[in-house]
Amino acid sequence: MNWQFGGIPLHPLFVHLTSVAVPVAALVAIAVAAWPAARRWLAVGAPIIGLVALVSVPLATSSGEWLEHHEEETALLERHTHLADGLLPWSIAVFALLTLWWGWQRFGVARVDARGLVRAVGIVGPVLLVAAGIGSLIEVVVIGHAGAVSVWKG
C-alpha cells in the first residue's frame, strides 16, 4: 500500500494518533482497575478506547515500514523500527483486558455464586490491567523517543 497522501507520508499522522490513543487506553486501564467509579463512568467506553489504540498501532507500524523503505537506513532508524514491533502485544493486552474486565463487571460478578472466584478475579483483574497499562505506557514512550532521535539526530 502507498502510505502517503498528496506526496506526504502518512506515518507522522498515525504516529500522533498512536502516541495519544495508547497512553489514553493505558490510563483508562489503570483507572478502571484502581477506581470503581471509573468502571461505571467509562463502562463500554473503556474497551472502545482500547480498540482505537489497538487499531492505531498497525497503522503506525505499517506506514512506518513503508517510510523506512523510502528513507536512508540508519542505526537509529533500525532501533526505532525494532522497538515499534513490541507495541502491538501490549495494545492487544490492554484491549483484551479492558474488554474482559468490562464483561466481568457487567455480566460476570452478579451471576457467579462462588465468592472465591469473584475475589480472585477482583484481585487478578486489576493487577493485570495495571501491569498492561504501565507496560504499554513505557513501550510507547521508549518507541517515541527512539523515533524522535532517529528523525532529529539521524
129-140 tens-digit pLDDT: 999 999 999 999
Asked if residue 33 belongs to a domain, the reply is yes
Residues whose CB is less than 8 angstroms from the CB of residue 130 and which lie 6 or more positions away in sequence, other chains included = 29, 30, 33, 34
d(CA 78, CA 93): 25
Residue 110 confidence class, pLDDT cut points 50, 70, 90:
low
Asked if residue 97 belongs to a domain, the reply is yes
4-23: average pLDDT: 93
Inform me whether the pLDDT recorded for 154 exceeds 70.
Answer: no
pTM of the complete model: 0.90
Query: Which pLDDT does position 105 carry in this prediction?
Result: 86
Asked if residue 4 belongs to a domain, the reply is no
Asked if residue 7 belongs to a domain, the reply is no
Tally of CA atoms within 13 A in the half-sphere of 105 that contains its CB? 23
Inform me whether the pLDDT recorded for 149 exceeds 70.
Answer: yes
| Number of domains into which the chain is organized | 1
Inform me whether the pLDDT recorded for 86 exceeds 80.
Answer: yes
Compute how many other C-beta atoms are within 10 angstroms of the C-beta atom of residue 81: 19
Which of 111 and 18 is assigned the larger pLDDT?
18
Query: Which pLDDT does position 118 carry in this prediction?
Result: 79
Asked if residue 2 belongs to a domain, the reply is no
100-111: average pLDDT: 83
Asked if residue 3 belongs to a domain, the reply is no
Query: Which pLDDT does position 50 carry in this prediction?
Result: 97
Name the residue range of residue 116's domain: 16-152
Asked if residue 140 belongs to a domain, the reply is yes
Residue range 48-80, pLDDT digits in tens:
999 999 999 999 999 999 988 888 888 998 999
Query: Which pLDDT does position 91 carry in this prediction?
Result: 98
